[in-house]
A and B are shown apart, each in its own frame.
Chain A
Amino acid sequence: MVGNDIVDIAQAKKESNWQRPRFLDKLFTEKEQQIIHSSENSFLIVWRLWSMKEAAYKLYTQCHPSRFYNPKKFECIIDGNSGIVKFQNFKCYVVTKTTSDYIVSESSLKLSKLKSKVVKLDSECLTNQSEFLKRKLITSASKRFYGSEVQFNIKKNNHGVPAMEFNNRKVNISLTHHGNYGAYAIA
Chain B
Amino acid sequence: MTHQELIVKLKAIVSPYVQDEAAFANLNEDTDFVKDLKINSANLVDIILDIEDEFDIRLENEDMEKMLDVKSAMEIVNTKLNS
Q: Which residues of A contact B (CB under 8 A)?
A: 7, 12, 15-16, 20-23, 26-27, 50, 54, 67-73, 126, 160, 178
- Asked if B56 is an interface residue, CB under 8 A from chain A, the answer is no
Beta-carbon nearest neighbor of B45 in chain A: A26
Residues of A with C-beta under 8 A to B61: 70, 72-73
Partner of B46, one of A16, A71, A73, A160: A16
Query: Could you name 16 residue pairs across A and B whose Cβ atoms are closer than 8 Å?
Result: A7-B42, A16-B43, A20-B46, A22-B49, A22-B52, A26-B45, A54-B41, A67-B68, A68-B65, A69-B44, A69-B64, A69-B65, A69-B66, A69-B67, A73-B61, A160-B34
CB distance A126 to B38 under 8 Å?
yes
Write the nearest CB–CB distance from A100 to chain B, whole angstroms: 19
CB distance B42 to A126 under 8 Å?
no
- How far apart are the CA atoms of A23 and B43 in the complex, in Å? 10
Q: Which residues of B contact A (CB under 8 A)?
A: 17, 19-20, 34-35, 38, 40-46, 48-49, 52, 61, 64-68
Chain A to chain B: the 5 pairs with minimum beta-carbon distance, closest first: A70-B65, A68-B65, A26-B45, A126-B19, A126-B38
Write the nearest CB–CB distance from A74 to chain B, whole angstroms: 12
- How far apart are the CA atoms of A6 and B40 in the complex, in Å? 12
Given contacts A23-B49, A126-B20, whether A178 and B68 have CB atoms under 8 Å apart is: no
- How far apart are the CA atoms of A96 and B82 in the complex, in Å? 44
Residues of B with C-beta under 8 A to A178: 40
Partner of B41, one of A69, A72, A126: A69
CB distance A15 to B44 under 8 Å?
no
Partner of A20, one of B40, B49, B68: B49
Beta-carbon nearest neighbor of A46 in chain B: B42
- How far apart are the CA atoms of A22 and B48 in the complex, in Å? 10
CB distance A68 to B68 under 8 Å?
yes
CB distance B45 to A23 under 8 Å?
yes
- How far apart are the CA atoms of A27 and B52 in the complex, in Å? 15
Given contacts A26-B48, A126-B20, whether A15 and B64 have CB atoms under 8 Å apart is: no
- How far apart are the CA atoms of A65 and B81 in the complex, in Å? 32
